[in-house]
Amino acid sequence: MGRQIYTEEHDIFRAAFKRYLEKEVVPHLEEWEENHEVPREAWKKMGEQGYICPWLEEEYGGSGAGFEYSIIINEEMSRVRANGFSVGLHSDIIAPYINSFGSEEQKAKYLPGAATGDILLAVAMTEPDAGSDLQAIRTRAVKDGDHYVINGQKTFISNGYCCDLAVVACKTDPNAKPAYKGISLILVEAGTPGFNKGRRLQKMGLQIQDTAELYFEDCRVPATNLLGQEGRGFYYLMDKLQQERLIAIIRAQVGAEEMLKLTMDYVKQRHAFGKPIGSFQHNAFKLAEMATEIELGRTFFDDLLADHLEGRNIVKKVSMAKWWIGEMCNRVAYQCLQLHGGYGFMDEYVISKWYRDVRAITIYAGTTEIMKQVIAREMGLL
């Protein structure tokens, strides 16, 4: 099962990465949160150390390591609440699109820069009028000779403001039936005329991460920027969304574990009515319930991870874990903040930041409701 995935080498890697985070990331988190931005140098340092796209083949600048190393990186970044530094999104969600579906030329052009942190990546699916219902997107890419001309708008795009390259979901055939067969993925470089970045959106949490609107106005890109085949975009997205969900689940699971840890410390030292607040039976039972749910989540996650590493189909199971662990994490956030009393509402108490950060987990990478829809479909009900 899951935990047996890790060898001594993984443990050594984890310990080294934790030291790296303590030195290079944790001391800057507050400043990055205030600026809503992670500086380029921080990305490049990560790249120099081989912490970006470790799974990538050596010829493209990776180290050909197993996906377990990505999991360790994502887990440890979540543990220090550095999720908004979107290394996981860049490395394990977007770069795989180029690696799996890109031409040799596209891979050689973009992957080495992605691994060094010089080419930052975003994936642009969501539009103001189409989120869960992806096949309803309206961004159009019209073939014009050896170019595509793109028009449309995207929103809520993580790394949207800082990205150098965006994987953009476009309609190449608006009349396709079913509609999803008309979706293609096109690579658009920052700086291409007609590709404009809008404002960085103000959010309730994940303050480090830039989340932006993107606009395409008669944006001409070479037809060779098509990723894979025309009309296959939806299939590619559905394929890679499974790993994206796995990364979202790690954040939820680790978030719940960390929130419980810091609340345990708090309830032992905070006194009311002459006793530590954790010793009131109601609170002790709440903590016992949370510990149980967190343990269940960990076991489920590790089992799911083992399935993924063995190449099994995880569509149903990852959807189950995404909604259940995502919701569990939010229950834990609510209860842990409550146990902090008024201090939990104050910014200087980190539980308030956790509470705000984890709220998005049940929304991005497929909402809780959409996950249940996928499971019900897999059960032959819908």
Pick from 158, 242, 253, 319 the residue near ligand FAD by CB under 6 A.
158
Q: What single string gives the DSSP state of each residue in 244-269?
A: HHHHHHHHHHHHHHHHHHHHHHHHHH
- Is 53 among the residues that bind ligand FAD (CB under 6 A)? no
Pick from 42, 56, 121, 124 the residue near ligand FAD by CB under 6 A.
124
- Name the residue nearer to ligand FAD (CB basis): 83 or 283: 83
- Is 246 among the residues that bind ligand FAD (CB under 6 A)? no
Residue with tokens 């809780």: 368
Cα dihedral 220, 221, 222, 223 sign? negative
- Is 211 among the residues that bind ligand FAD (CB under 6 A)? yes
With both helix axes pointing from N to C terminus, report the angle between 315-339 and 281-309 in degrees, rounded to the nearest 10: 150
- Name the residue nearer to ligand FAD (CB basis): 103 or 151: 151
**Which two structure tokens, joined as six digits, stand for 20?**
């790296």
Rounded to the nearest 5 degrees, what angle is found at the Cα of 241, between the Cα atoms of 29 and 382? Answer: 130
Q: What is the dihedral of CA 264, 74, 126, 374, to 10 degrees?
A: -80
Q: Report d(CA 1, CA 302) in Å as an integer.
A: 7
In the complex, least distance from residue 44 CB atom to ligand FAD, rounded to whole angstroms = 22
- Is 336 among the residues that bind ligand FAD (CB under 6 A)? no
Q: Report d(CA 166, CA 134) in Å as an integer.
A: 17
Contact partners, residue 65, CB within 8 Å, separation at least 6 = 54, 55
Instruction: Exactly one of 68, 75, 244, 293 is catalytic; name it.
Output: 244
In the complex, least distance from residue 57 CB atom to ligand FAD, rounded to whole angstroms = 25
Annotated active-site residue 310? The verdict is no
- Is 148 among the residues that bind ligand FAD (CB under 6 A)? no
Label residue 27 exposed, middle or buried (CB < 10 Å: 0-12, 13-18, 19+): exposed
**How far is C-alpha 1 from the geometric centre of its chain's CA atoms?**
24
Pick from 95, 364, 374, 375 the residue near ligand FAD by CB under 6 A.
364
- Is 363 among the residues that bind ligand FAD (CB under 6 A)? yes
- Spell out a b/e string for 85-97, using b for 16 or more CB atoms within 10 Å of the CB, else e: bbbbbbbbbbbbb
Stretch that binds ligand FAD, among 98-106, 153-161, 217-225, 287-295 (CB under 6 A): 153-161
- How many CB atoms sit inside 10 A of residue 180's CB? 18
Q: Report d(CA 200, CA 214) in Å as an integer.
A: 10
Pick from 131, 182, 233, 344 the residue near ligand FAD by CB under 6 A.
131
Stretch that binds ligand FAD, among 36-44, 182-190, 330-338, 360-368 (CB under 6 A): 360-368
- Name the residue nearer to ligand FAD (CB basis): 304 or 365: 365
In the complex, least distance from residue 127 CB atom to ligand FAD, rounded to whole angstroms = 8
- Is 199 among the residues that bind ligand FAD (CB under 6 A)? no
- Is 88 among the residues that bind ligand FAD (CB under 6 A)? no
Pick from 132, 279, 292, 313 the residue near ligand FAD by CB under 6 A.
132
Cβ atoms of 382 and 376 within 8 Å: the answer is: yes
Residue with tokens 């476009």: 170
- Is 156 among the residues that bind ligand FAD (CB under 6 A)? yes
- Name the residue nearer to ligand FAD (CB basis): 286 or 322: 322
- Name the residue nearer to ligand FAD (CB basis): 152 or 278: 152
Q: Which positions from 254 to 293 touch ligand FAD by CB under 6 A, shown as an x/- string?
A: ----------------------------------------
Residues designated as active site: 244
Positions in the binding site for ligand FAD (CB under 6 A)? 123-126, 131-132, 156-158, 206, 211, 360, 363-364, 367, 369-370, 373
